[in-house]
Structure 1
């Protein structure tokens, strides 16, 4: 982050933390000087341990603040000291402390750390710009469809509008012109069989006129070959779908692309005894859209983890009272944190010790000092993999919705929350009418497409605060917090109409499906009712819809 790219307010905050760090180095020099006084064979080992803690901390943090020479020298002396101490060479230890540590204190003097306002060195920089006010594409929220076949384009547009996607059908020439002025949208669908693409061996040349390459690329083609897929990969397409395109698969890929752009900020808990380094890391990580919580008292770690719910734990390996391994094992003793990614952050460069540390329930080992760019990349990749794993565990493979057991847990949790807040909660049960007939007539593969399409529609039509799950087969359960019954019915009825208008293709035939739903609200039922009884009441309302002719929404009778 070179200074001309850093906002002035961020530069000021960084300089303030750096000045604090320089004051810390002055204090560390005084501690080292005191440890040199009265050094003898009887206290050499104890003082070597105290000096090690100081040097180890400096070696891991000084480079981050721009004191690379100090960092390297601290590491060199510390490694020599540890080597001598491990062989019980007391004379060598005393000589090292007397000579090397004395010279190190002189180095601190020569660097000017006594002058807290000095700017002789600059903090460690990186190339990552601040994202406090990130520039956004003028076409945010749009999906561009580059499709020459007007009939196919119209078909895609009609279907995708039902899922609340804002579709803009454009030619390649129009897309390049729009992107040059306002950037690319979150997602772009391109038919590779169209005229501008089918003869091209290298698609990269098509996008050289725009400042940045298109993002969220979804490529379509009848030609599902390695050569065609590698062409798509070379322009960094995230998805490749064979035509004719399965609507549910297209929706799924679009959701993955758009949600990646809108994904929640990673939550990171940082445990390190170096307060200035923690402050600087927090500042830089938050400037890149990462939520950071610094744990100051390790004794509160379980309650703090439960409160903040981090998606990654960034843990110093060596602290005065506890090692990183101690903390990692303590965290893993709690079942709810078994899958929490733990990354060690340490000045330790010995590969054998790094390997040993990773055996104790950690996922990665990053060596200090580390560039902000590398740290951000590591955090985002680890968090994304953890989110993907969590999705595999808690969500249904076909629909991407919560599984039966998970949605029931959410129902219990949300009902308890509603009671605490004295707010209403509505529960909706719905399923697809005559679904067995769909499977019998068109096959189970087509039936899966219908289920997946309804699931996608539910994800897009309900609010982000609503919770949707696949209850079983073609049946779905929806939880709508802070929602009265009449509002829930209105939302579900609009979804019912949209689903009835969707067209499905099987064996060159098009067909439509309908759904039935039952809706109940906690305010209309006894106060002592539990979540399972609320779900049962919604199921009875669904049965009433079925009994009264289907394709309708019923409430508690």
Structure 2
């Protein structure tokens, strides 16, 4: 069997277009039958509603499949029929009663057939995503962040990237004298790459990026600049020239590592959102789903409204794209239905509809949705719009679900991840671990150096953990200076060795305060999730192992033993 993912995008879009044309030809024949009934004054109320629904669907989808004239013509007729159809739907009269329709509409309907004679070939208008991996938006861990210092004379930047490497970044230095080698190294890294330079060479670095990397890829290669002048004029000049971030001497290494981390999360995430498409036009819905999926956005189509709520729970989207009219169902009513459940009160709902009347749009928005996109939309516009909205939705979600200091999962959510992993272990039988991790003598850090420095230590450890753990691992701030980790498919011995290596790297970091500096170590307890009936017991076991480690001298890892 041929794997659909290996079929070129333009061929898959062409298949959908062929299906649409075949369906549209059948729909036009049905509409022509309605036109005959109009001529004979035999058009019944239920026929009028069916006619309106066919025209509404055609108006919204024809342009997407390369038939804008057909869509525009259908839209004109739809607008004329809409008041009659809405009056019919609200009427208590027998739906089989004949209804009076202007005779001119019959002729307009028949002319639709002339607009579908020579449909154009589909074009692949959406670029392939840089990486079709699974959802990696939950954190940058597992997405090896690459920091390349680019300079004419790399001596100064060499020491800087050496310091950054301690935070878990993959760092190297490239010279303008060997541009081919620099381009090769940039292109061979699938994760996020940050280009670093000094402010005096910013123009050369941006020119190098523009000349050697595809414009569509610039988002994945932001430029971080370092310099000696922290004045407003200097920062403004660097921003105007195109730098993404600017750091001034003396450099705050934890702050720089944190900023690089956030840039990687924003720019390097392979999955750029999860979108639930609710549309009864299957060809159009599949087209949207295909275009979004191939652009790195995970999409799922719901064609039957009664499946909506179960799909919401199963898919947990960042955004819902929904038609206003779904056959005999109203998208406006479905939006209100979604808001019945508190968990979906903050879920963005965007109507994707051929409705272009501003007053009708506002009325629909007032009943539960957030925005309107008017059909037809181009593939590129759809992708860009969805990316922006998904990114914003995830930012808001992070504000609710993530610790404000570290960006890690909050206490309750990381505990839920232990529950989920325990359930997965029971289904598949694989071993997994939970790790309780704590900073040693942290009260002494706060008392000696201040709570501000204590916050820097906590953020630094959070960044180090994200950069060293796998994409499948989950990290949460359990409370204060304690962290809870979930390591799927990992045996306790391996987990202990891995966390021990992270602890060694963390202990090498020096936190500067004026002319002074200090270092901090960490202790950890590891427990096998599989050994316990409930998640809380596994967490308690890891905490007990941590307690034993503290009493054994700290700065190390202890595995829980029954």
Who is 2:542 aligned against? 538
> Are the counterparts in 1 of residues 271 and 298 from structure 2 also a CA contact under 8 Å?
no
**CA RMSD for the aligned pairs?**
3.1
Cα 1:283–1:454 change in 2 (3 A) is: closer
Who is 1:3 aligned against? none
Query: Residue 494 of structure 1 is aligned with which of 487, 495, 501?
Result: 501
Q: Which has the higher contact order (CA 8 A, sep 6+)?
A: 2
1:430 and 2:434 correspond: no
1:315 and 2:319 correspond: no
Q: CA deviation at 1:191?
A: 4.4
Cα 1:84–1:420 change in 2 (3 A) is: closer
Q: CA deviation at 1:95?
A: 5.7
1:282 and 2:289 correspond: yes
Cα distance in 2 for partners of 1:551, 1:396 equals 25
**How do residues 84-95 of structure 1 correspond to structure 2 at under 5 angstroms?**
94=100
1:103 and 2:108 correspond: yes
Query: Residue 471 of structure 1 is aligned with which of 471, 474, 478?
Result: 478
Cα distance in 1 for partners of 2:269, 2:210 equals 26
The Cα offsets for residues 249-295 of structure 1, whole Å up to 9 and x where unpaired, read as 22222222223323325222211121222232233223322322221
Who is 2:92 aligned against? none
Q: CA deviation at 1:189?
A: 4.3
Unaligned runs of 5+ in 1: 1-6, 114-119, 135-139
Q: CA deviation at 1:377?
A: 0.6
> Are the counterparts in 2 of residues 187 and 217 from structure 1 also a CA contact under 8 Å?
no
Cα 1:263–1:363 change in 2 (3 A) is: farther
Number of aligned positions between the proteins: 527
Who is 2:59 aligned against? 59
**How do residues 511-530 of structure 1 correspond to structure 2 at under 5 angstroms?**
511-523=518-530, 525=531, 527-528=532-533, 530=534
Q: CA deviation at 1:86?
A: 7.3
Cα distance in 2 for partners of 1:189, 1:373 equals 27
1:158 and 2:162 correspond: yes
Who is 2:16 aligned against? 17
Q: CA deviation at 1:471?
A: 1.5
Cα distance in 2 for partners of 1:512, 1:232 equals 34
Name the SS for the 1:128 alignment partner.
coil
The Cα offsets for residues 359-416 of structure 1, whole Å up to 9 and x where unpaired, read as 1221221111100001001111111111111212111122121122222222223223
1:443 and 2:435 correspond: no
> Are the counterparts in 2 of residues 61 and 368 from structure 1 also a CA contact under 8 Å?
yes
1:266 and 2:265 correspond: no
Cα 1:472–1:15 change in 2 (3 A) is: closer
- Structure 1 stretch displaced more, 425-434 or 226-235: 226-235
Cα 1:505–1:385 change in 2 (3 A) is: same
Q: CA deviation at 1:487?
A: 1.3
> Are the counterparts in 2 of residues 451 and 474 from structure 1 also a CA contact under 8 Å?
yes
Q: How does the TM-score come out when normalised to structure 1? A: 0.85
Q: CA deviation at 1:181?
A: 9.5
Cα distance in 2 for partners of 1:8, 1:477 equals 43
1:228 and 2:231 correspond: no
Q: CA deviation at 1:145?
A: 1.7
Who is 2:256 aligned against? 250
